[in-house]
Amino acid sequence: MNVDIPTPLIDEPVRPLILVGNGAYDTAMLAKFAPLGPVVAVDGGYYGCRIAGITPDLLIGDMDSVAAEDLIDARTRMRVHPLAEQDSTDLEKALCHIRAPAILGFGFLGKRLDHSLAALSVLARYAHRHRVILVGSDDVLHITSGHFKMAMKTGDRLSVWPIGQVDFARSSGLHWPLDGLAMAPDKQVGTSNKAAAEMVEIQPADNRQAAYAILAENHYLEEMLSCLLAVPSPSDAP
């Protein structure tokens, strides 16, 4: 499924884009990765940016989590794009108005389970359009429907969680191989698999089928980002 997006408010051709939401994350990690590219605060993520000493390039969302006086101040220091509609989450609103070869999302996991589940739902719908890594307090999460390859330390955890029915053609470097396995949320899942080699590779049988989530410890953020930036962006697909 291809998801059409309007003309992006930020169209970054080379660098990753950093999204900041209102959930839980390591402020020091945000401060480390924020200089890599444009920063977009999503509604209440404005305050997380302020705590980290970061001035976003864009503030977007329905603004129900930003105090009126702070919104007035924000308009003097950054681009502000309010979106009043309530049929989508603030994460989806942001994804509909940005484009980049990879997106790092801080603050979309952790605080509230319903918000975390909503974020996973959005990423599953946009997996063919955006490459997003969500950064939690302990884990990084990437949802894809295609090939995945990443260098890892032997023995480190790598969970593979199907968002829908996913048939895997093959894998390499995993302690429990995925070769020929069919996974689904109500059937077999791949919680707490682990690397059995220095390179892990996963190939689904069909890139057009349902998406699956890759979860690793958050110290793999830099490596996962490098892997995503090394291949053409889905945003470039026709």
For 35-79, how does the pLDDT look when each residue is reduced to its tens digit (9 = 90+)?
Answer: 999 999 999 999 999 999 999 999 998 898 889 998 888 999 999
Higher confidence at residue 232 or residue 164? 164
- Looking at residue 195, its amino acid is A
Q: What is the rounded radius of gyration, in angstroms, for the C-alpha atoms of the chain? A: 18
My answer on whether 199 and 223 are in the same domain is no
Q: What confidence score (pLDDT) does residue 9 get? A: 93
Residue 210 in contact with residue 166, Cβ under 8 Å?
A: yes
Please indicate, yes or no, whether residues 74 and 131 belong to a single structural domain of this protein: yes
Total Cβ atoms within 10 A of residue 119: 24
Q: pLDDT confidence of 234, banded at 50, 70, 90?
A: low
pLDDT of residue 238: 44
Q: Tell me, yes or no, whether 137 and 221 share the same domain.
A: yes
Task: Please give the pLDDT value at position 115.
Answer: 84
Both 85 and 118 in one domain: the answer is: yes
Q: Are 80 and 196 found together in one domain?
A: no
On whether residue 62 sits in a domain, the answer given is yes
Per the structure block, which two tokens stand in for 162? 């199907």
Check whether residue 204 and residue 229 sit in a common domain.
no
pTM of the model: 0.90
The answer to whether residues 159 and 188 belong to one domain is yes
Residues 113, 188: one domain? no
Question: What are the pLDDT digits (tens) for 170-212?
Answer: 999 999 999 999 999 999 999 999 999 999 999 999 877 789 9
Domain that holds residue 39: 15-142+213-238
Domain count, the chain: 2
Q: What are 218's two structure tokens?
A: 């958050």
pLDDT in tens, 114-161: 888 999 999 999 888 899 999 998 999 999 989 999 999 999 999 999
102 lies in the same domain as 206: no
Q: What is the mean pLDDT of residues 215-223?
A: 96
- Cβ neighbour number for residue 74 with a 10 Å cutoff: 20
Q: What pLDDT is attached to residue 45?
A: 92
Q: Helix or strand or coil: residue 27?
A: helix
Instruction: Pick the more confident residue, 56 or 113.
Output: 56
Q: Pick from 234, 220, 25: which is nearest to 119 by CA?
A: 25
Among 79, 113, 110, 62, which Cα is nearest to 8's? 79
Burial class (CB in 10 A: 0-12, 13-18, 19+), 113: exposed
